Chain A
Amino acid sequence: MTKRILVIEDTEDNRQIVRDLLESAGYALIEALDGLEGVAAAEREHPDLILMDIQLPGIDGYEATRRIRAVPALATVPIIAVTSYALSGDEAKTRAAGCDGYVAKPFSPRQLLAKIREFLPP
């Protein structure tokens, strides 16, 4: 069955890049534009993996991750954080919030796909 990935990302271009990349790799996408919408989509859709941008309008990716983790049915869904380059200590912060993986921007689509496949083997 096709694996479903929830992408929580406020930048239109980043969403399109991820969409084009992941759909061509055979995944189905669910998209959310901010943290609150992302938490709601996670509860509604129960995706197989979540890509979480950290710098989001409204609640940020750390808070959104904590809220998703607080939902029992979503306690183990893999969450990969996507954060900006050069903010040191980010990786530890994303892990503390409950993320399983970490990709720093600028990411190359190839690297992102490789990271996703660690959690969702093709």
Chain B
Amino acid sequence: MSHELRTPLNAILGYAELLADGIYGELAPRASGVLERVQNNGRHLLALINDVLDLSKIEAGQLVFTLEDYSLAEVVQSVVSATEGMARNKGLAVTAEVAPGLPTGHADARRLQQVLLNLVGNAVKFTDEGEVAIRAAAEHGSFVLSVRDTGPGIAPEDHGRIFDEFQQVDSSNTRKKGGTGLGLAISKRMIEMQGGTISVDSALGEGATFRVVLPIRVEEIIDEAAGGSGRDPAPVLRGAA
């Protein structure tokens, strides 16, 4: 189904970019402005489709995890590289402090990266000044990853529902900040299925710190969503270590 949903949208975005690049002739200024809105909405819809498909795969127990050895420092570095441009545009710094000598991890590194990218992306989106700080360390057999921002903070009564589908604290923000409202819900599932936890520590006006605790070596996938016994093993591909 993903192919059917994405193909027409890709065509819309493709033509829009050619129009914006002047391939079909120069556009009047008002038309350029409208075209930019078409592109922004198209990209937002694509992000939504990708997230909804991820979530529906999780709920159907069809999300395939690939467990492989990875370097947490490399995961952190890739997320810093992917987000520092967006942060710089807002005058923010993204810093990373990785404890020296971390052991090699074993998990679905691509999904861990997706989760960290989501947390750092959110932090940059919701922070207007200050910094976004990533820390990575190991304790008691788990990696502890935290993402701290100097944004507006989240009231304690909202801490539970921000991990639910389509819940941002201020729904008027969804359009302004460009999120899909699904990123944290997906992140929570992906971390919990690998035996980890995700939580937030924040108060209004005091920024927010999201914390992921993930076993250093993830050996099995816990699939509560697949129903039945609640412990049906989810599909796992073992990476060549």
Evaluate contact between B13 and A108: CB separation under 8 angstroms. Answer: yes
- Contacting B18 at CB < 8 Å: which of A21, A105, A106, A107? A21
- Contacting A109 at CB < 8 Å: which of B18, B46, B64, B110? B18
A1-26 contact mask (Cβ, 8 Å, vs B): 1 or 0? 00000000001011001001100100
Chain B proximity of A53: nearest CB distance (Å): 11
Q: What band does the interface of chain B fall in when counting residues whose beta carbon is under 8 Å from A?
A: 20 to 34
Chain B residues near A76: list those with CB within 8 A. none
Chain B residues near A24: list those with CB within 8 A. 23
A109 to B23, CA, bound (A): 11
Chain A proximity of B221: nearest CB distance (Å): 15
Instruction: Tell me what chain A mostly uses at the interface: helix, strand, loop, or mixed.
Output: loop
Evaluate contact between A110 and B17: CB separation under 8 angstroms. Answer: yes
- Contacting B14 at CB < 8 Å: which of A17, A55, A88? A17
Chain A proximity of B5: nearest CB distance (Å): 11
Instruction: Tell me what chain B mostly uses at the interface: helix, strand, loop, or mixed.
Output: helix
Chain B residues near A85: list those with CB within 8 A. 2, 6, 50
In this complex, how many residues of chain A approach chain B with their Cβ under 8 Å: the count is: 18
Residue of B at shortest CB range from A23? B23
Evaluate contact between A17 and B21: CB separation under 8 angstroms. Answer: no
Q: Does B28 contact A (CB under 8 A)?
A: no
Tell me the residues in window 3-19 of chain B with beta carbons closer than 8 Å to chain A beta carbons.
3, 6-11, 13-15, 17-18
Tell me the residues in window 99-113 of chain A with beta carbons closer than 8 Å to chain B beta carbons.
105-110
Q: Does B95 contact A (CB under 8 A)?
A: no
A11 to B14, CA, bound (A): 13
Chain B proximity of A81: nearest CB distance (Å): 16
Name which of B11, B50, B66 has the most chain A CB atoms within 10 A of its CB: B11
Chain A residues near B9: list those with CB within 8 A. 106
Tell me the residues in window 25-53 of chain B with beta carbons closer than 8 Å to chain A beta carbons.
46, 50
- Contacting B3 at CB < 8 Å: which of A17, A21, A84? A84
The contact sample of 5 A-B pairs, CB cut-off 8 A, is A14-B10, A84-B2, A86-B2, A107-B10, A110-B17
